[in-house]
Amino acid sequence: DQQVKQNSPSLSVQEGRISILNCDYTNSMFDYFLWYKKYPAEGPTFLISISSIKDKNEDGRFTVFLNKSAKHLSLHIVPSQPGDSAVYFCAASNSNTGNQFYFGTGTSLTVIP
Amino acid sequence: DTAVSQTPKYLVTQMGNDKSIKCEQNLGHDTMYWYKQDSKKFLKIMFSYNNKELIINETVPNRFSPKSPDKAHLNLHINSLELGDSAVYFCASSLGLTQYFGPGTRLTVL
């Protein structure tokens, strides 16, 4: 019963173009969402988050969009750079029930120079 | 000045053995976690401790026993290792709703 899904295991994008990574969730009680980036042989590192009271959060080249009615969020990276090549995990939480996070299976992004 | 550290990074052992993975965080966070990432890359929470007290205990075999001697440490002890325990185990700590992960421990059970 995977509550957070990333249906694209991999994505390739040309350098300078936009990367769009998608994430779907099933639990309508989730109210806080995060994206993590993971390089090989390292732990995930926090990238950007969004609360359910917002539909967009931007941090430099990274923007997260939340569509609550569709239970969908996306991470946009523009312009994409080769150093962005990594696995991106989406995570969700219900902030009222403690610090339990549910992760997707990740999308491996390759930015081609 | 590593924030969340785990030892060992790699662990290869035989079925039936008992092993421990150590985790330490120097961020001053109150909450620590253990996650398991299986071969399907699914990152699933196992345990969460807040100020040395267990607050999340997912459906994990009781062969897995976390120990938190103080709020900076959360160790994971595994008894009678099985083939299915092979995975990457990540420790994490959090302040609020943002988690900080260790580099992972790749456990291989032969």
Alpha-carbon distance B82 to B36, whole Å? 14
Instruction: State residue A20's pLDDT score.
Output: 98
A8 CA: distance to closest CA in chain B (Å): 13
Name the residue with higher pLDDT: B96 or A59.
Answer: A59
Interface subset of B 59-88, CB within 8 angstroms of A: none
Cα gap A18→B78, rounded to integer Å: 44
The CB density around residue A23, as the number of other CB atoms within 10 Å, is 26
Over residues A37-48, the mean pLDDT reads 93
* Residue that has been written with the tokens 């939480």 in this structure: A93
Please report the pLDDT score of residue A10 as a whole number: 96
On whether the CB atoms of residues A3 and A62 are closer than 8 A, the answer is no
Residue in chain A lying closest to B43 (CA): A103
Nearest CB to A89: which of B43, B48, B50? B43
CB contact under 8 A, B97 and A2: no
Is 70 exceeded by the pLDDT of residue A74? Answer: yes
Averaged over B27-38, what is the pLDDT? 92
Residue B2 pLDDT greater than 70, yes or no: no
Q: Is the pLDDT of residue A69 over 90?
A: yes
Contacts of A57 in chain B (CB under 8 A): none
Per residue in B65-83, pLDDT (tens digit) is 999 999 899 999 999 999 9
**What integer is the mean pLDDT of B77-101?**
93
Average pLDDT over residues A52-57: 96
Per-residue pLDDT, A98? 67
Chain B residues close to A34, C-beta within 8 Å: 97-99
**What pLDDT score was predicted for residue B21?**
97
Closest Cα in chain B to A4: B42
Residue B57 has pLDDT above 80, yes or no: no
- Checking if the pLDDT of B97 tops 90, the result is no
**Could you say which of B41, B94, B101 has the minimum Cβ distance to residue A105?**
B41
| pLDDT given at position B38 | 86
Residue A108 confidence (pLDDT) above 80? yes
Return the percentage of chain B with pLDDT > 70, whole number.
98
B53 pLDDT more than 90: no
**Taking CA A86 as the corner, what is the angle to CA A85 and CA A89, rounded to the nearest 5 degrees?**
135
Residue type, B85: D
- Is A103 in contact with B101 (Cβ distance < 8 A)? no
